[in-house]
Structures are given as C-alpha cells and as structure tokens.
Structure 1
Amino acid sequence: MIKKTLYFGNPVYLSLRNAQLVIKLPEVVKNDTLPDGFKQQSEVTKPIEDLGVVVLDNKQITITSGVLEALLENNCAIITCDSKSMPVGLMLPLYGNTTQNERFRQQLDASLPLTKQLWQQTIRIKIENQAAVLKKCAGEEVKCMAIWAADVKSGDSDNLEARAAAYYWKNLFKIERFTRDREGIPPNNLLNYGYAILRAVVARGLVASGLLPTLGIHHHNRYNAYCLADDIMEPYRPYVDELVYKILQEEINCDELTKGLKAQLLTIPTLEVVISGKRSPLMVAVGQSTASLYKCFSGELRRIIYPEM
C-alpha cells in the first residue's frame, strides 16, 4: 500500500481517537457560538496506518503524545520545519524490525571492501541517472557522463562523483550565477526542500529494514545522524532534480517557497520510478533498496537494488 504524506502549514490540533488521526481547527474549537454538532462535523480523521510522512510547518500546531507514539509505531517519519519553512528536524522510531539487534551487528561488521563496493555501485547508478535527467530535460550530450559512470572504481577513489556533479549542474539549470549550494540562489531552495523530504523517506526505509541510519557506507560526518540515509538517497536525487526542472518550466516565481511549490515537492514519495524492471512509487522503491542493502550486509546479495531512469 502506498503511504500518504500529510502537510500542516496552519495552526491545527492533532489528536488520536480509535487509531485515527483527528484534525481540528483552533478557530472552530475555541468558538463557543458554534453548536457541538457542527464542531464534530468539522473534524477530519485519517487512519494512522495509511501515513508515511507527516510535515509540521507551523509554530502553533498542537500535537498530542498519543499521536506521536502512534505515528512512530507505524514507522511514519515526522518532519518539523523552522521559521523559514525549511525542514529542520526528523523523528523516527527507535526500532522498526523484529530482528533489529542481529541486523545492527551485521551492519557494524560489514567489511571495508564491501562498503567500498556498495559505494561504487551507488555512485555509478547516480551518475547514470543524472545523465538520463540531462538527456531528458536539457537535451545535453551525455557521453562523458556514461564514461565517468563506467569508470567509477571501488570507493570512487577518483572522486568521479564530484566531476560528474560539476558537469551536471552546469548543464541542467542554465541560470546565470547558479551553482549548487544550500545557501545559493533559487532553485537551490526547491532542491533543499525536496532533498529533505527524500532524506526522510530513505531514513524511514532504513529503520523499517532494521538498519542504523547513522552508520554510513561512505559518509562519516561525526555531526550527521543520517549518514546512511545520505548514502542511499544519492541515486534518488535525480528524481528530485527532474521534478524541480519541470517546476521551473512553469515559469513560477521560485524566490519563495509557497504552499503551491511545497505541494508539488511533497509528491516526491509518490513519484513513479522503475526498479527491477517494474514501475513503482518512489517510497516503495526505497523500501526495496534498503531491504537489499541489509541483504548485502548479511551476505545474501552483492548489489543494492536501485531504480534506473
């Protein structure tokens, strides 16, 4: 079943009743002139089990502990946003698999040659997907990207990821003064938001597969709690890039992240991808990737299953 993404950008009361998320508006609840029957009819309920990502983007949102517990028990990722409406926090369950201790040990015991090979596969698919985006969106010649993808060595010792990225960003968004930088000019703001949603989806998938999102196969920043999520999301980034490119073609002002722009970016978990020769929503595909990663750690597989554009 495809999990839903809920976004809350206005003041709202979120509570739990009969395994349902109950959504109430403060102005309705506090208005004593309204009849109780109308207040009950104005409530909206959503089954907790249907939710995969919840985004909280308002300082006046009230959410009960019961809702948080129920969401986490159902492996739902909860994203909180800062005053600029950018994702700033991510809440995930402490456990997501019945054999989690065993899986942690296998992940921790992964050999250096194995992690280097997994990173090689990851970067190779990422560059191939970037090349596909360039060809589809910008109509650019991508022979050099294909060569770089084929030449990626174990652990990407030649750092072909960076070389491909420089070529990719230069040719995808032909905007004066644009460089890929978190603090850079638009559409960096759209990319930042999209990647944050993608990161939450991948972290959720890792927890569901019984893996530690903190322990990466390549990223090892001591201050980063989601190194493995940042690793596994790499081949999925081009899907976000393609979506942002399409948004820009609509000639919408992207200087500010409006609710309309966020609504388009929040479709990322349901984007259609092709994985193992079959069409699948991105969130479901991520689950296949994280499950295959565990099998690599356990010795059942030698390759991570990634989507190909």
Structure 2
Amino acid sequence: MDQIIDIATNGRHLSRDHGFLKVSEDNAEVGRTPLDQIAGVIVHAHGTTWSTSLLTELADRGVPVVLCASNHAPKSVLMPIDGHHAQGARMRAQWQAKTPLIKQAWKQVVTAKVTMQAAALDALGEADAPLRMMARKVTSGDTTNIEAQAARYYWPRMMGPDFRRDTGAGDENALLNYGYTVLRAATARAVVAAGLHPTIGLFHSNRSNAFALADDLMEPFRPLVDCAVRKIVAKRGAQIDTDTKQALARLIATDLPLGEGVTPVSVAVMKLATSLGQSFESGKLALALPAPLDRLTLAVLGA
C-alpha cells in the first residue's frame, strides 16, 4: 500500500539502506519503510538532513519530497527530471493541445469537483441540491466561474458559517493545508509519471506555480480531505498531531468508484493523469474521473 512519510520531529536524518528509507536521530535508527511503498515524503521539521543517494532512489521511483512551512502549506517539491518513457512526445502534445480541448477538460474537472462537494454535503446531512444544479451549469472553461460560486455555498455548510478558507491561518485551515499537501504530492507524482509537464496547467497558471497541473487534477479529490477534517475537528479538535496526520495520510488509500470498479485515490490520480496525457496525444478528450463515494464512507472519513 502507498504510504506518505511525514517528518515532523526536528533533527532527523533520512538515508537509504538496502531498499529502505531509514530515519535516524543521533545516529540511532528510529524507523524504516520500504522505498517501493512510499508515495511521498513530507517534511515539516527544522534541521532535517538527508543523503543524496536517498533522494536519487526516491526520484527513480517518482516519489515527491515536499518541504512545508510552519502552516503545513507546501513551499517546495523535489521531483525527478525523467518521467514517462514517451515523455518528450507527450509534453509536446500537451504544449500544443488545442484551447477547446483544454477548456472542455477543465469543465469536466470542475463538474466532478462540484459533484463530489454535493455528495460530501449530502453525507453530512446538508442540502446538496444547489450544488448539483450548479454542476449541470458548468460551461467550457468554466467561464461563469461555477467553481467559485459553489465554494461560497459549500464552505459555510462544510465547516461552519464563520469559516473562511485561509492558507495562512491555523486550526481547520492548517489541517486542510496538510491534507491537501498529501493529495498534492500524490497528484504531482502521477503527473510526472504520466509524462506530463507539471507547470502547464489547464486552469491554474500562476508563473510561480511549478505544479499547476497537479493543482488542477487534484480538485475533484479535495472534498475527501474536507470531510476528513470536519470529522477530525468534531472528534479531536483542530490540533495537528500524529493521529491527525495519519488519518489524513490514509486518505490516499481510500477506494473510489472509477469506471466499473473501485480504485484507491493514489491510483485514481494516476489514471486521471494518464488519461489526460492520452487525450492530449489523440486530440480526443476521455478523462478517467472518479464518481462520488457513498454517503456512509464520506461521513466516516477521518474517523
């Protein structure tokens, strides 16, 4: 099973040891994980050091190393230069993709996100009909900004009437930052593995955002984090501790309906990125987007 490795204790050293990521403190081993099971490494702590051989091994496996600020928002992501075996051709197709295809892709992503938000509210006993209506009104390129309209309806019902999404704030916002960082790492890995360039997004286009495409493709999965954070806050409060981080990191193993079966989130983002790359090459859009989870599963995420 894919695992997220979180380094939150100051002064730890990370190294490679016979196919494992080894964590040490004062030259004594405190933990190890098989490299082949790692989906991402997230570092929050000060004074963390690592060996070059470890970073090379992680790069060989397409594993991102995410460096975070004190508010748990990502500040840097280390990713491999090499990705898919046909990376050059796929990136050229991505760069040359026609505007109508890109706009239709963003429409489908936004529709999937709003539909997942509606399912999340329904699972929590909140009115979801307005969001389902908005999902049907998303236009090519989301020119009427349904995504923002949906957010204004969604957040007060998901997190409470006084909640404001602020990446620099603490409490629930810091928990959301952490959950999204886990999701972003998994999606960034999927984008590179699919031979796509992470900077060239469908919608996100900030010049300083090196992972715009990952931010685009993770949108339909964000409500899973939101549901988990709401449950965590209700049960344990908004403190970020080991149990909280583990609960959020486990989200990438959550099974989602996709096609005729189910697949873990970590695999679903891989399939979505791969389907986008294939769409760029063929010129015909066919995205592998997940369907919403059932009410019971959404309601207990983060428990």
* TM-score, L = length of structure 1: 0.88
* Structure 2: distance between partners of 1:186 and 1:57: 16
Query: Are 1:166 and 2:152 counterparts?
Result: yes
Paired AA for residue 142 in structure 1? D
- C-alpha deviations, 1:208-242, integer Å up to 9, x for none? 00000100111111121111111111111111111
Percent identity at matched positions?
A: 33
| TM-aligned CA deviation for residue 83 of structure 1 | 4.1
| TM-aligned CA deviation for residue 44 of structure 1 | 4.3
Q: Pick from 270, 273, 280: which aligns with 2:253?
A: 270
Where does residue 267 of structure 2 map in the other structure? 284
* Structure 1: distance between partners of 2:170 and 2:6: 25
| TM-aligned CA deviation for residue 285 of structure 1 | 0.8
Q: Pick from 287, 291, 295: which aligns with 1:308?
A: 291
* Structure 1: distance between partners of 2:108 and 2:71: 36
| TM-aligned CA deviation for residue 301 of structure 1 | 4.6
* Structure 1: distance between partners of 2:42 and 2:237: 23
Change (3 A) 1:63 1:25: same
Where does residue 33 of structure 1 map in the other structure? none
Where does residue 186 of structure 1 map in the other structure? 171
* Structure 1: distance between partners of 2:209 and 2:174: 21
* Structure 2: distance between partners of 1:125 and 1:24: 42
- C-alpha deviations, 1:112-137, integer Å up to 9, x for none? 00000001111111111000000001
* Structure 2: distance between partners of 1:287 and 1:142: 29
Where does residue 140 of structure 2 map in the other structure? 154
Query: Are 1:124 and 2:111 counterparts?
Result: yes
Contact 1:134 1:142 in 2 (8 A): yes
Change (3 A) 1:43 1:198: closer
Query: Are 1:59 and 2:46 counterparts?
Result: yes
Where does residue 196 of structure 2 map in the other structure? 211
Change (3 A) 1:154 1:59: same
Where does residue 226 of structure 2 map in the other structure? 241
* Structure 2: distance between partners of 1:90 and 1:135: 35
Contact 2:103 2:141 in 1 (8 A): yes
* Structure 1: distance between partners of 2:178 and 2:167: 10
| TM-aligned CA deviation for residue 85 of structure 1 | 4.8
| Structure 2 SS opposite 1:140 | coil
| TM-aligned CA deviation for residue 185 of structure 1 | 5.5
| Alpha-carbon RMSD | 1.8
* Structure 1: distance between partners of 2:206 and 2:13: 37
| TM-aligned CA deviation for residue 263 of structure 1 | 2.2
* Structure 2: distance between partners of 1:159 and 1:233: 18
- Segments of 5+ residues of structure 1 without an aligned counterpart are 30-38
* Structure 1: distance between partners of 2:169 and 2:38: 33
Where does residue 35 of structure 1 map in the other structure? none
Query: Are 1:109 and 2:96 counterparts?
Result: yes
Where does residue 295 of structure 2 map in the other structure? none
- C-alpha deviations, 1:263-285, integer Å up to 9, x for none? 22222222222211322211011
- Segments of 5+ residues of structure 2 without an aligned counterpart are 293-303
* Structure 2: distance between partners of 1:109 and 1:242: 37
| TM-aligned CA deviation for residue 99 of structure 1 | 0.9
Where does residue 20 of structure 2 map in the other structure? 20
Where does residue 258 of structure 1 map in the other structure? 241
Contact 2:71 2:169 in 1 (8 A): no
Extract structure 1 runs of 4+ deviating beyond 6 A: none
- C-alpha deviations, 1:64-114, integer Å up to 9, x for none? 000011111111111122345543221111111111100110000100000
| Structure 1 SS opposite 2:16 | strand
Task: Kindly tell me the number of residue pairs found equivalent between the two proteins.
Answer: 291
Contact 1:178 1:184 in 2 (8 A): no
| TM-aligned CA deviation for residue 56 of structure 1 | 2.0
Query: Are 1:88 and 2:72 counterparts?
Result: no
| Structure 2 SS opposite 1:211 | coil
Contact 2:5 2:42 in 1 (8 A): yes
* Structure 2: distance between partners of 1:17 and 1:173: 43
Paired AA for residue 265 in structure 2? L
